[in-house]
Amino acid sequence: MNNAFVTFQRFNDPELANATAEKLKENNIEALIENGRQFFNPNFANNAVEADIELKLKQSDFARAEKIIESLYNESIDNVDKDYYLFEFTTAELKEIISKPDEWGKFDYQLAQKLLKERGVDLSEAKISSLKEQRTKQLAEPESVSSNWIIAGYILPFIFGFPGIVFGWIIAYSKKSLPDGQKVFIYNNKARAHGRRIFRISLIVVGLTLLGKFIYGGNIYNLFHVLW
């Protein structure tokens, strides 16, 4: 597992992603940049625009990379312009950044800590560590899939064929990376069970359709008629 490349940080800005990767490479940490956009997400209607550029590292390098980036940003947060948008954030909004660092860039995360300390908010290492653990547990919770999407998934193979295979595979087997590098299944067991069934049904339907076209020059319905 330690030799596998997993998502370390996500970016909207490709230049920033590449600059961060180069900084890590200068410190002898292997880094990969990938487009992590999931081409289908059954919960897309509930999602805002997401950072889809992934910086991937070996999990064994996570701790060292954190320190390098922290050191890099510590050099600049003291000189950030006072019109930077975080200076207008309330204490509650800054705490929100600290409690959900995965939703914010590491620069904003460190600047938020600095601003909170300046406002007299207690942010001990133990407190920050506890918040990270809580957030990791929260992110590890699997997502559900609406019944409408599940019903659509069962219908897909009989209308379009191949998309049913893709849908089923995504629901059943897709994973997400946690801040500590762990990978867990995105969807809960109930949804994944449906996904596996849809995947198998789709494989059978597509396979029979291709067989029917090859042997009978028709489609799956011709083949079913012959078999029946």
| 26 and 64 Cβ atoms separated by less than 8 Å | no
Taking each continuous run of H as one helix and of E as one strand, the counts in the chain are: 9, 5
3-state class of 33 per DSSP? strand
The full set of domain ranges for the chain reads 1-60, 80-140, 147-227
Residues sharing a CB contact under 8 Å with residue 83, sequence separation 6 or more, in sequence order? none
Q: How far apart are CA 88 and CA 93, in angstroms?
A: 10
| 116 and 91 Cβ atoms separated by less than 8 Å | yes
Q: What is the pLDDT along the chain (228 residues), one digit of tens a residue?
A: 457 888 888 777 788 788 889 989 999 999 999 875 554 555 444 444 455 788 899 888 988 998 888 887 777 787 888 889 999 999 999 999 999 988 887 888 889 999 999 999 988 888 888 888 899 999 999 999 999 999 999 999 898 888 999 999 999 999 988 887 788 999 999 999 999 999 999 999 988 887 777 675 555 555 444 433
Q: Which helix (H) or strand (E) holds 66?
A: helix 62-77
Whole-model pTM?
0.65
